[in-house]
Structure 1
């Protein structure tokens, strides 16, 4: 279950205005702030994500660089094959009896194996009957569960009923271990058991497992509980509210959750979803949008070649579908567009490209943004090429409630991929300041 990464490989579309505008002052023609590991920008971005996960035990740098060396640029089958090979090698290491004595060995190796299986899953969605759609996901899930079972306080998968009872919410609960630094600072007073808690939603039906490496591990290290969630189809306030209900009404959980310091975080397309949820769920003390999304269609339409976009917006849906599918079959679409077409239709459960684009027109926050009443961190990125300018729109609509932060330089990719340290320290500094009254209780 993951489509948030639909956004990621489109990040580095070379024709976007934002990328064209960032040429370095020394006239270096390379418009990117980092060394490129592939001349296929979509593959390069996935390698950047994979390298970033090394900070939290979700990858190893050498093996990722080995995949980057061996993958044939633009060749989806090559990409999938190399990641599966690494995932299986890492799984075998995780299963080695000599590693069983050490929970750190167990945890990190299973986290890496799970992550590599998820990377392999990126490019297998053109054919809905492809058995890899099931086997890769089963493999990543099983590996991830072994990893979180080896955390100091094991993570727990949850299945929560919706308030209406018509669907279930899949979630993972992570309880923060006692933060030693905070305990030593106040060693003469009893430790406060209730902790601030992050509620985390990923992007376009994305893997909640990815959120562990982006946000959960850094938050646990700072004494924050976390709960990640996935809903049926696209998460909305109908998904978020059952999660909050669970946190506040379940005794063994509510005992360690500070109800006054609940924070909602949405990543990528989740930056739209979290904003919409916050408009209807009043129990959050603050909201974080990485990044701010005003209108999803306006961003996604930028992936279309201009002639196809003209066809679609003229309402020539049958011709649009025929033409874009014909180009896909002939290998005439750029890699990022081919992947987006495959993955977007699969995740939205439609064979029709035009129906996919029509569905995403429903996602905009202009009609509800005035209902948000808590402080909001709005993340923007210098090299944002999916929703350029939209974080500023979100900030403008929220006024003084919002703090707009622009991540620059090597932290300036979409969702700060490859710069997790800078992103998380920025977020937690903002949270400390924003929730300073509550923090004074530690």
Structure 2
């Protein structure tokens, strides 16, 4: 096939809304005050504001960051949060603050959050040393914080077949007591450390144990083990369940073991639930019927035809030309950067082909446990797919649609409402 021109590539791919799982709805309605004229930056500023609810940040510094970030400039986003992270770390290390261990702990949590934000838009250049150095900083800060919890969190490496699951165990009590346990993973880009400030804190407050984990494709495993996403997520979850039922048998009620998948984790958790029979329930925030269809639905027919033609070279050249154009949105640029990095491929064509393996429709009828599914009216990217999962599962599933300011993807900055609704379902 003849290679299409750069101008044609721009016409094709700039017509796409986004590759990002964090797009707003096509209506461009917005239920809250905008934190940035850049849609992607707006959402990524909501993330640390949401984590502030459970001790992951302070509100004023995040709003200050929003004021100082240059629209569309990934380096600016990084630099503002890197500066904030270093300043917050200095506060945590200041001996003058040692009189208040609780404040020091919360300062370490905020430090970790800001280092994660500083890393967020850097994955287009795999050789950038900041990808690892910033992550080491956030791991170190987070470990300082969880070691100071009333019941300290414990990092684990749980052996799987050809890799190790990176996990953190958070006991609800320091005494032996069989309690319900929430196992949870993040999605396309999120870290397990983010889950502490969205799900772990409310779970512990309700008397649940919590265990967060990362498998191939997730931030720490991608860095430490050089592994991209795998579709057969039971390979990750089954070793986690093995660990809990063997190593934490005195603390875990085997009949109340729930799995939570956040964002793209809605596919991952559903896949594990279909093939790990010891789970009692699964929560999907949100439901992902077909990842490939979610990605291509915003591409023009001509772009899809080029993808379907099998001409990998032409598709890659056209997409890279479009993404590198100054007119291209941050959502599109980041979405491709993150997808290539987390799926571990340098080819957009291969990336799209890989996503075909991530479809709940392929095994939905193998899910035999109760399912809770979250959706939002401003979901945007996976709009409608939660309902498809619910319809296929029938009475076995509960669909909760969040509206208004809570209607963003994964209820960002509405963690209290989301956690209460999920707890009520249980």
TM-score (norm 2): 0.89
Give yes or no for the alignment of 1:11 onto 2:30: no
Give yes or no for the alignment of 1:204 onto 2:188: yes
Residues 8, 45 of structure 1: 8 Å contact kept: no
2:295 and 2:401 map into 1 onto residues whose CA distance is: 21
Measured against aligned partners, the alpha-carbon deviations of 1:220-275 in whole angstroms (never above 9, x if no partner) come to 1111100011112336001101001100111xx22111111110110111111111
SS at match of 1:37: coil
Residues 270, 289 of structure 1: 8 Å contact kept: yes
After superposing the two structures, state which structure 1 stretch, 319-328 or 210-219, moved more: 319-328
Residues 10, 303 of structure 1: 8 Å contact kept: no
1:175 and 1:49 map into 2 onto residues whose CA distance is: 25
Give yes or no for the alignment of 1:216 onto 2:213: no
Of 160, 171, 177 in structure 1, the residue corresponding to residue 173 of structure 2 is 177
- Residue 113 of structure 1 and its aligned partner are, at CA, apart by 0.5
**Gap runs ≥5 in structure 2:** 1-17, 217-227
- Residue 357 of structure 1 and its aligned partner are, at CA, apart by 0.8
Q: Which residue of 1 aligns with 2:213?
A: 229
Q: Which residue of 2 aligns with 1:262?
A: 257
| Cα separation, partners in 2 of 1:129 and 1:352, compared to 1, 3 Å | same
| Cα separation, partners in 2 of 1:320 and 1:9, compared to 1, 3 Å | closer
Of 238, 242, 246 in structure 2, the residue corresponding to residue 241 of structure 1 is 238
| Cα separation, partners in 2 of 1:303 and 1:175, compared to 1, 3 Å | farther
Give yes or no for the alignment of 1:43 onto 2:41: yes
Q: Which residue of 1 aligns with 2:407?
A: 412
After superposing the two structures, state which structure 1 stretch, 48-57 or 325-334, moved more: 325-334
Residues 10, 42 of structure 1: 8 Å contact kept: no
| Cα separation, partners in 2 of 1:303 and 1:11, compared to 1, 3 Å | farther
Residues 9, 45 of structure 1: 8 Å contact kept: no
The RMSD of aligned alpha carbons is 1.8
**Gap runs ≥5 in structure 1:** 1-6, 21-29, 179-190, 432-442
Q: Which residue of 1 aligns with 2:92?
A: 94
- Residue 12 of structure 1 and its aligned partner are, at CA, apart by 3.1
Residues 269, 282 of structure 2: 8 Å contact kept: yes
Of 357, 361, 384 in structure 1, the residue corresponding to residue 379 of structure 2 is 384
2:298 and 2:116 map into 1 onto residues whose CA distance is: 23
Task: Kindly tell me the number of residue pairs found equivalent between the two proteins.
Answer: 396
- Residue 122 of structure 1 and its aligned partner are, at CA, apart by 1.0
1:31 and 1:93 map into 2 onto residues whose CA distance is: 39
Q: Relative contact order: is structure 1 or structure 2 higher (C-alpha 8 Å, sep ≥ 6)?
A: 2
Residues 196, 257 of structure 1: 8 Å contact kept: yes
| Cα separation, partners in 2 of 1:49 and 1:306, compared to 1, 3 Å | farther
Residues 411, 419 of structure 1: 8 Å contact kept: yes
2:307 and 2:78 map into 1 onto residues whose CA distance is: 31
2:274 and 2:77 map into 1 onto residues whose CA distance is: 40
Residues 106, 150 of structure 1: 8 Å contact kept: no
TM-score (norm 1): 0.86
Measured against aligned partners, the alpha-carbon deviations of 1:39-69 in whole angstroms (never above 9, x if no partner) come to 1000000111111111111010000000000
- Residue 302 of structure 1 and its aligned partner are, at CA, apart by 4.1
